[in-house]
Amino acid sequence: MIKMDSQSQELFKKAMGDYPTGVTIVTTTDADGIPVGLTVNSFASVSLEPTLILWSIDHKVSSLKAFTEGRGFAVHILSEDQQELCKTFASKNVDRFGNCSWELSDNFLPIIDGARAVLQCKTFKTVEAGDHTILIGEVIDISLNEKNPMLYHRRKFGPIPSEFYS
């Protein structure tokens, strides 16, 4: 393993923080049926046949076991008006599901209202990768609405600039 010094680690964080992404909230239910979820921007598309996506979870996340040992998860691609929700699902000591409207799907996955898109996934594979686990999901249900997605860049959230829609 190549050991990066702290200066190189800072450069790595800066380079990755400069890479614009959307933002998602990923949810599932734990072994007791309690909904869990967190804000995620490591989400990416992987394959069309089968339809696969991935995201990675930090080993420090409180709901790690629920995701790595569970059978599936729901990825919510957030809308531009869901910035508060995005912060709520990245904050400690808040009642995440008490601060939003949600319901359980037929796949027993918590689905939060108002996302740009929701991809319900069956866990296809988990891959250990350093201090994270990569979760690859096979998409089993997709819903999409007319809202615009949210953009995340340099730790700030915002709408997609209007020139992208002209």
At its nearest, how many Å lie between ligand FMN and the CB of residue 157? 8
At its nearest, how many Å lie between ligand FMN and the CB of residue 64? 8
**Nearest to ligand FMN of 3, 60 (CB atom):** 60
Q: How far apart are CA 91 and CA 85, in angstroms?
A: 10
At its nearest, how many Å lie between ligand FMN and the CB of residue 152? 5
H-run or E-run covering 15: helix 6-17
Task: Give the distance, in angstroms, between the CA of residue 45 and the centroid of all CA atoms in the same chain.
Answer: 12
Q: Evaluate whether 63 touches 27 at the Cβ level (below 8 Å).
A: no
**Nearest to ligand FMN of 5, 131 (CB atom):** 131
At its nearest, how many Å lie between ligand FMN and the CB of residue 37? 8
Q: How far apart are CA 91 and CA 87, in angstroms?
A: 6
**Nearest to ligand FMN of 41, 68 (CB atom):** 41
Footprint of ligand FMN on this chain (CB under 6 A)? 23, 38-42, 55-58, 61-63, 90, 92, 152
Query: Which residue's CB atom is positioned nearest to ligand FMN?
Result: 42
- Whole-number Cα distances in Å, 45 to 42, 50, 60, 63, 65: 10, 11, 24, 23, 23
Q: How far apart are CA 141 and CA 114, in angstroms?
A: 16
For 104, other C-beta atoms within 10 Å of its C-beta total 12
At its nearest, how many Å lie between ligand FMN and the CB of residue 147? 18
**Nearest to ligand FMN of 37, 72 (CB atom):** 37
**Nearest to ligand FMN of 55, 102 (CB atom):** 55
